[in-house]
């Protein structure tokens, strides 16, 4: 009997008839309804010999003659949907916590020179595109290795979810003034709250990490079609998604005069900073709930202990 590693691949309740011919054992398997033909079958095969002795072997068998996956959308259409989906991601609740850092950055830029506005816009866009390139490249590499993964695959890793929950909590505490990270351009999200080009870059990176579990209109079709495309075209779709997410902020680089219409920096920024801490706390609580679904009570205990 063969036990597959991947779920929803085979009809595990169906019989698996065995035939022996010319020293070769052939086991009949039934595919699950609507299951796509995999490139390989990974799992464990249990064999019971005539004497009743049972042995088990881990195998990875290539599937010959598997039909090649056809893209659900042509490249131009997938890229267009990705661009629109990225734009709409800015309205999704997953991205809202990061808008706290964006709002503070925009307030600082209201009195800045045009060149400085363009540089901050460029570094934010670069942070978004670089992070999307890392996620897209990782997804392509893992799929090439036979893994079955989809958009937002990093949120299936408990360690990643816990680290992001701690990061959101730390950003919230920093916005609330519980502590202040000294120095310019510190790593991670703390750098995103500081002035400087590194802050704009890390704000873009954090926006991508927070945005990936959301599904905006037009967005589901584009990442769904991307893995069926060649690697270079897959990366094109992911970068189009990043360009859409960075679009509103990137407009400041093209039209720096927009920043002049914002209120001038003042004491109101401290009030705004205090209020914007709460979306960060909400994001940390939501991530703790996600971790509970992945790891149960032990995962929640670990993330709470780390947050303390």
* Cα 51 to Cα 54: distance, rounded to the nearest angstrom: 9
- At residue 74, the pLDDT reads 77
- In this predicted structure, which of 93-107, 148-162, 170-184, 186-200 has the lowest mean pLDDT? 186-200
Torsion of CA 108, 83, 279, 188, to 10 degrees: -60
* Cα 286 to Cα 280: distance, rounded to the nearest angstrom: 10
State the average pLDDT for the chain.
Answer: 74
Per DSSP, the chain holds a count of helices (H) and strands (E) of 10, 5
Higher-scoring residue by pLDDT: 204, 71 = 204
Residues 68-88, mean pLDDT to the nearest whole number = 73
* Cα 199 to Cα 187: distance, rounded to the nearest angstrom: 9
Residues facing 55 on adjacent strands? 47
- At residue 130, the pLDDT reads 92
3-state DSSP assignment of residue 189: helix
Q: Output the CA–CA distances (angstroms, integers) from residue 185 to 97, 200, 257, 280, in the order listed.
A: 20, 9, 26, 20
Q: Given the DSSP bridges, would you call strands 40-48 and 24-27 parallel, antiparallel or unpaired? A: unpaired
DSSP state of 197: H
Distance from chain centroid for Cα 212 = 4
Output phi, psi for 175, to 5 deg. Answer: -65, -35
């Amino acid at each position: 009997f063969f036990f597959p590693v991947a779920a929803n691949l085979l009809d595990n309740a169906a019989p698996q008839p065995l035939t022996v011919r010319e020293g070769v054992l052939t086991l009949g398997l039934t595919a699950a309804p609507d299951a796509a033909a995999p490139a390989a079958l990974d799992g464990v095969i249990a064999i019971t010999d005539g004497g009743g002795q049972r042995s088990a072997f881990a195998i990875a068998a290539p599937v010959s003659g598997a039909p090649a996956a056809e893209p659900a959308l042509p490249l131009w259409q997938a890229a267009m949907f990705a661009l629109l989906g990225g734009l709409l991601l800015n309205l999704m609740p997953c991205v809202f916590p990061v808008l706290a850092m964006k709002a503070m950055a925009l307030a600082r830029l209201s009195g800045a020179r045009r060149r400085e506005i363009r540089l901050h816009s460029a570094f934010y866009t670069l942070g978004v595109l670089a992070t999307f390139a890392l996620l897209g490249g990782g997804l392509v590499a893992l799929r090439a290795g036979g893994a079955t993964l989809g958009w937002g695959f990093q949120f299936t890793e408990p360690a990643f979810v816990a680290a992001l929950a701690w990061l959101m909590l730390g950003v919230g505490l920093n916005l609330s003034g519980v502590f202040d990270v000294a120095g310019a351009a510190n790593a991670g999200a703390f750098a995103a709250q500081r002035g400087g080009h590194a802050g704009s870059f890390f704000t873009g990176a954090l926006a991508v990490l927070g945005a990936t579990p959301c599904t905006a209109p037009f967005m589901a079709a584009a990442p769904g079609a991307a893995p069926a495309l060649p690697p270079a075209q897959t990366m094109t779709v992911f970068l189009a998604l990043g360009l859409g997410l960075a679009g509103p902020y990137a407009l400041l680089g093209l039209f720096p005069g927009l920043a002049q219409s914002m209120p001038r920096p003042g004491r109101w920024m401290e009030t705004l900073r205090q209020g914007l801490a709460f979306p960060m706390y909400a994001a940390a609580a939501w991530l703790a709930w996600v971790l509970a679904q992945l790891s149960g009570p032990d995962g929640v205990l670990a993330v709470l202990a780390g947050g303390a």
